[in-house]
Structures are given as structure tokens and as C-alpha cells.
Amino acid sequence: MLELSGVSHVYPNGTRALDDVTLSIPKGMFGLLGPNGAGKSTLMRTIAGLQAPTAGSIRFGDIDVLAEPDRLRRTLGYLPQDFGVYPRISAQAMLDHMAVLKGIGDAKERRGVVEHLLNQTNLWSVRGKAIAGFSGGMRQRFGIAQALIGDPELIIVDEPTAGLDPEERNRFLNLLAGIGENVVVILSTHIVEDVADLCPRMAVLAAGRVQLEGAPRELIRSTAGRVWQRTIPHTQLPDMQAAHEVISHRFFAGEIVVHVLADERPEGFDPVVGGLEDVYFATLAETRRAAPAQAA
Ligand SMILES: Nc1ncnc2c1ncn2[C@@H]1O[C@H](COP(=O)(O)OP(=O)(O)OP(=O)(O)O)[C@@H](O)[C@H]1O
């Protein structure tokens, strides 16, 4: 269990990226959903012990993360949003090197670990190729391979599917799903489907605060009977937004399908079974209403 209590972070320039975040994250896949700038990466780096928050505490099992970051690191697998450098050495050699850094000193054991990870992440056939030449999807799978070295009990993946094509995204999510239920996996993302597809528990982070937390299924149920749909010409969208609480809209066959949140059926709308997207956009709309400047 990962426990965050009152975690806040204010950057030196005054930006309050995290504001009193309190969360209990159980074993299994946990989705942290939020728009760009919500504070997700700051939170991921903070949990990983790479950045000290300005207030609050974090515990993972019996580890006090802020006091004992080295202890956490031994049991942590981290896939940052951006690796930064992609070396010109092969995936196999790089994993071997990273396994040394993770403390696997025995060469034979290391070879076994690296081979297993290359197979698990479907990179065996390209193990001899330079990572610099990998596609986005291959890089992300390599990122998971390195995060899994040493059987971590806490795995953090930050925005892993951004920029992947649908096939690679599926591959990647399948890989995450197979990691196992006995570890805490935090999936930070702004893509609602990633969470809907994979995570039995989730939280929405916006403007540095936890706006919503729970099981996606229950959260979806909480909007039952309050989401309504209508298809309109796109020119009518501004009027619609002025008249209703529009939580989402998408183009379909040249028109716009709008979803609105309302306790009673608005004139001309049909009831629709809401999804996690509706829950998410409704939460963001409420956040914006509460603090327009921050959540813009
Ligand atoms: N080093 C920094 N100094 C000052 N402000 C920062 C720094 N890093 C992030 N911020 C600000 O803190 C807020 C949260 O940023 P963060 O990167 O954690 O959000 P995010 O949810 O991960 O968004 P994104 O997906 O765009 O990275 C933003 O307003 C961002 O501009």
C-alpha cells in the first residue's frame, strides 16, 4: 500500500503544482488521470523520491519515502515521461548495464533476467539493435523492461501511451496488465481509455488537487441518469455551451455529438449511458468552475 498524506509542492517560481494530495493506493493498477499541467509528473517524481515535496508525507509499506529514498529506489520501477537520451547501444547491453546498477552483480543471473525481460516485452528479436533506432512503441516497451528489473513492488509509468499508434498502445497496455496484482502500478495519463481499460481504481488530479477518487465502475454509476446526448450542427456548439453544462463533444460524420450533465432531461436530448470520459470531463468542468484561473 502506498500512502500519501497532505503532499504539496510549490516550485521556486511560486507555481503550486500539488496542493494537499492525500491518497491511498492499493496493490494492482491505479490510474492517475489529469490534463496537461495537472501536476501528474510532479507527483510521480515525488513518489519516486526524485523530488522532495514542500509539505506532506509518503509511505510505501514500512518505507518512509522522503526519509529513505534509497530504500524505496531498491523496490521501485520508474518509467519517466521522457527518458531524454536514447543511447546508441543495444537494448540487451543497456538492460544488462541497468541491471548492474540495480545491484544484480552475478553475470549469469543477470543474463537470465535480461533475457526474460526482452521476451516479456516482445523485444527479443530486436535485442541487438540500438535503442536510438527504436520506434516510439519499442522505446516504451524498453522503458517497461528497464522498470521491471529486480522485481519492483512499486511501478510508476508516466504518460506511457502518448504518441503511440493504436496497435502499439494495445501492446503496451497488455504488457502493463500482465505485470501482476501483487505490485502497486501507478499509471499516470491524460488518456481516459487507458484508465478505463486497465485500472480497477483511479483518481482524477486537476489543478494540483485530487478531485475525484474511486473505482471507475462506481464513478460511472454516479453519473447514471444525469448524462444526456444530442447531435447538433457544429455552428450551434457555442449556444449549446452557453445554455447547458456541456461535458464533452466530439465530431461524428460532420456533426457534433454533445454530452451534457443535468439532473433533468434537457429539451431535445436523449439519455445516454455515460462512460468514464463523461465522469472525467464533468470533474474537469467542476474544477474549472471552482477555480477558473488555476484549472484553465
Ligand atoms: N521545474 C518547474 N518549475 C516551475 N514550474 C514547474 C516545474 N515543473 C512543472 N511546473 C509547473 O507545475 C505544474 C504541474 O506540472 P506537471 O509537469 O507536474 O504536470 P503534468 O500533469 O505532468 O502535465 P504534463 O502532462 O503537461 O507534463 C504546471 O503548471 C507546470 O508548468
The torsion angles phi and psi of 67, rounded to 5 degrees, stand at: -85, -30
Separation of alpha carbons 50 and 156, rounded Å? 12
Per-residue tens of pLDDT for the chain, all 296 residues: 999 999 999 999 999 999 999 999 999 999 999 999 999 999 999 999 989 999 999 999 999 999 999 999 989 999 888 776 667 899 999 999 999 988 898 999 999 999 999 998 889 999 999 998 998 888 888 998 999 999 999 999 998 888 788 888 888 888 888 887 789 999 999 989 889 888 999 999 999 999 999 999 999 988 888 899 999 998 999 999 999 989 888 898 889 999 998 999 999 999 998 889 999 998 988 888 777 555 44
Whether 131 and 260 share a structural domain: no
Residue 107 within a domain? yes
Say if 296 falls within a structural domain: no
Residue 247's closest CA among 261, 232, 233, 263? 261
26 occurs within a structural domain = yes
Residues with CB under 6 A from ligand 1: 11, 13, 15, 17, 34, 36-42, 159
pTM metric for this prediction: 0.88
Residue indicated by cell numbers 493506493: 25
Residues 152 and 256 placed together within one structural domain of the fold? no
Asked if 179 and 282 sit in the same domain, the reply is: no
CA-proximal residue: ligand 1, atom 1 (nearest): 11
Q: Are residues 210 and 259 in the same domain?
A: no
The number of distinct structural domains making up the chain is 2
DSSP annotation of 265? P
Residue 159 Cα to ligand 1 midpoint, Å, equals: 13
- Give pLDDT, residue 39: 95
How far apart are the CA of 20 and the centre of ligand 1, in A? 16
172 and 68 housed in the same domain? yes
Residue 29 corresponds to which amino acid? M
Q: Using H for helix, E for strand and C for coil, what is the string for 131-192?
A: HHHCCHHHHHHHHHHHHCCCCCCEEEEECCCCCCCHHHHHHHHHHHHCCCCCCEEEEEECCH
> 3-state DSSP call for residue 100?
helix
